[in-house]
Amino acid sequence: MDKFTTYETAWCPGCGNFSILNSLKTALEELGIRPDEVLMVAGIGQAAKTPQYLSANSFCGLHGRALPAAIAAKISNEKLTVIVNSGDGDSYGEGGNHFIHNIRRNVNIAHFVHDNQIYGLTKGQASPTSDEGLVTGVQTDGNSMSPLNPVLLAIASGAGFVARGFSGDSKQLVSIMKEAILYPGYAFVDILQPCISFNKINTFAYYKNMAAPLGDDYDPTNRLEAIKLSMEVSDKIPTGILYREEKTEFHRKNRLLKEGQPLVEQKRDESVLENLIHSFI
């Protein structure tokens, strides 16, 4: 089976998740990757349902724990194309620590964060990217915390591929996703996405007005420029590949993995494990 299929979803009509799912499907098909070669990984949330709606291998873990499961799978079987789709809460809140240290580890996976600036599944609590003062049905006095800037954080932490997309610009999103999947290392994409039910401020119209696609003349290899650009979020929000640097990925640095034979195909001597277990009995 070479074509991907999508399934009926439980998302609200008008949710940005639909176009992110469809953009991913298009990106994978245009890259000529087969469904059986893909592992989709997520944590918990509306965004984290994405793996359940695409006909590929999938694993949904605990809230905030998508990255550890994804990199474990990739480390075991380098032949898999491993893609994480999860929310801003999942990736930057509950999974914030994994986010930073995963950048340092640089395993070859793509991480697509559906950033609706809200905890959607649990009906509107502030997420790490919610605007300060945001009032929702359950955050009635307004969010008292200042937002973190995931793109700035990723570049500052040493990520080699950092991009921002918008669910309403699928042409650009498909092209960013293709580059992220092909990038040999950890590729991070923050995707602006409206939550039509619980975030009444950062709407489709808001993002449409704010999103400013980078021009062809932009040079993504200048780290200081990328940092400066990633701090621009109040007048316009730049979208596209903000930073790109070739870095040695995890597999090429590991003695056991760098020869190229995936761990799952390497010969195992079961007696070593049995002897170890028996030494504790």
Ligand X SMILES: Cc1ncc(C[n+]2csc(CCOP(=O)(O)OP(=O)(O)O)c2C)c(N)n1
Provide the binding-site residues for Mg ion, judged by CB under 5 A. 87-89, 116, 120
CB of 89 to Mg ion, least distance (A): 5
- Residue 112 host element (H or E): strand 110-115
Q: How far apart are CA 47 and CA 106, in angstroms?
A: 23
Q: What is the dihedral of CA 243, 149, 65, 265, to 10 degrees?
A: 0
Residue with smallest beta-carbon separation from ligand X: 87
CB of 223 to Mg ion, least distance (A): 28
CB of 247 to ligand X, least distance (A): 27
Q: How far apart are CA 207 and CA 2, in angstroms?
A: 34
The residue (of 179 and 190) whose beta carbon lies closer to Mg ion is: 190
Amino acid letter, 8: E
The residue (of 84 and 107) whose beta carbon lies closer to Mg ion is: 84
The residue (of 87 and 160) whose beta carbon lies closer to ligand X is: 87
The residue (of 150 and 220) whose beta carbon lies closer to ligand X is: 150
Q: Based on DSSP, count helices (H) and strands (E) in the chain, helices before strands.
A: 10, 8
Q: Which residue(s) pair with 239 in the sheet?
A: 213
The residue (of 64 and 160) whose beta carbon lies closer to ligand X is: 64
- Mind spelling out the 3-state secondary structure of 163-225? EEEECCCHHHHHHHHHHHHHCCCCEEEEEECCCCCCCCCCCHHHHHHHEEECCCCCCCCCHHH
DSSP type of residue 81: E
CB of 127 to Mg ion, least distance (A): 5
Tokens (6 digits) for 138: 């359950």
From Mg ion, ligand X, none, interface partner of 122 (C-beta below 5 to 8 A by class): ligand X
Q: How far apart are CA 30 and CA 33, in angstroms?
A: 8
CB of 125 to ligand X, least distance (A): 6
The residue (of 88 and 179) whose beta carbon lies closer to ligand X is: 88
Q: Which positions touch ligand X (CB under 6 A)?
A: 44-47, 63, 87-90, 94, 114, 116, 118-122, 127
Task: Give just the sign of the alpha carbon dihedral 251, 257, 261, 264.
Answer: negative
First to last CA, the chain: 48
Task: Give just the sign of the alpha carbon dihedral 120, 185, 103, 158.
Answer: negative
CB of 88 to Mg ion, least distance (A): 4
The residue (of 116 and 202) whose beta carbon lies closer to ligand X is: 116
CB of 90 to ligand X, least distance (A): 3
